[in-house]
Structure 1
Amino acid sequence: MRALILLLLFCFSLAANAQVVAEHEMKAAYLYNFAYLFDWPDSKRANFHVCILGDEEVGVAMQNYYERRVNGQRMVIARLTTPTPIRLCDILYVGAGEIVNLPKIRNILGNQPTLTVTDKGSLQAVGITLALEGKRLMFDVNLEYCERANLKAKPTLLELARSVRKATDGEIKTSPVGK
């Protein structure tokens, strides 16, 4: 199972047979896989909402995952134009153009169990930050943020992360994984 998750998570990060996968498609694949790499609080809702704010290309690429199942819930993709309706989101991807709204987003969400993901800005304000290194898409995890939002990261996610930021004895420590 672990090998399958590793394969799914990184299959889009490599160029195969001279075919290059677009960055927005890699991001969509990562968002989809993040849904399986967390233990989510019990929900009575029928749908698992992945919301895309401010990145049309990622929103279009996420449509490939529409109606797949996550913990018995149907995955629904919502492409948002403002941060106002984010309270229904289980995963919220914030595109580069909406980074200025992160304080407002954090205020709206509070400690609600929403995984916030972005590829710009500070890891302090979100659960996961994506970063392109060469042709590979990497990610950093803010474990403190995730725990505050009542999201439990599975060990596989933490092993795959480039770095994990966590609070220890009142201090914030960021450490590269495996070092």
Structure 2
Amino acid sequence: MIRCFMAALLLPIGSAAAQTVQEYDLKAAFVYNFALFTDWPADTSYEGGTLNICVNPGSALRAPLIGMSDRSIRGRKIAVRSLAAGGNLRTCHVVFLDVADKERWATIKKGLGSGVLTIADDEEIDRDKVVIALSMDGNRVVFDIDTRAARQAGLVLSSKLLRLARMVR
């Protein structure tokens, strides 16, 4: 599994026409692998036996993530939920933030419980409590990890994941 993840790191994104589709499919694979290489606290609740990935309903990543709903992580089926600031965010295990969440991030993080893997895909989102920050480096997807934010969330990230990060703080 780690070999597939490493191979994804090395894949350049193709032509401009195919870039949008490939970029978000690739980022969805990153989100899946981030969750795969994360350990949640022992007291984490998995209602219905699902691992909930919460994402803005208008996010370009939503459709590729829904396409992964047939997969599971450690015996828990993936479920994609809407990231709504007024909704029940305490059921989220993974929160994916993008440009549409920039203004709402302060409100969203107040509603999150502990044990949430936060992933940002917008360079302008405040990095406070963001565990993993995705970005583009040329035509490649790269990521940075904030281990302090992971510890505060009660998460343990695999050393394999840490070795693949562009930067670990």
Q: Fold conserved (TM > 0.5)?
A: yes
Compare 45-54 and 156-165 and name the one that shifted more.
45-54
Q: Given the alignment of the two structures, is residue 29 of structure 1 paired with residue 38 of structure 2, yes or no?
A: no
Which of structures 1 and 2 has the larger relative contact order (alpha carbons within 8 angstroms, sep 6+)? 2
Counterpart of 1:113?
A: 115
How far does the alpha carbon of each residue in 1:37-73 deviate from its partner, in whole angstroms, 9 at most, with x for none? 1112234521100111254320011112103111111
Q: What amino acid sits opposite 1:36 in the alignment?
A: L
Distance in 1 separating the partners of 2:22 and 2:100? 19
Unaligned runs of 5+ residues in structure 1 are 166-179
Pick from 47, 72, 77: which aligns with 2:50?
47
Q: Relative to total residues, which structure has the larger strand share, 1 or 2?
A: 1
Counterpart of 1:92?
A: 95
TM-score of the superposition, structure 1-length normalised? 0.79
Contact map agreement 2:134 2:141 (CA 8 A) in 1: yes
Distance in 2 separating the partners of 1:25 and 1:79? 18
**Aligned pairs for 1:117-132 within 5 A:** 117-120=119-122, 121-132=125-136
Pick from 11, 14, 35: which aligns with 2:12?
14
Unaligned runs of 5+ residues in structure 2 are none
The structural deviation recorded for 1:138 is 0.6
How many residues align? The count is: 162
The structural deviation recorded for 1:15 is 4.1
How far does the alpha carbon of each residue in 1:122-141 deviate from its partner, in whole angstroms, 9 at most, with x for none? 33331111111111011111
User: CA 1:119 to 1:47, structure 2 compared with 1: closer, same or farther past 3 Å?
Assistant: same
Q: What root-mean-square deviation, in Å, do the aligned CA atoms of Structure 1 and Structure 2 show?
A: 2.3
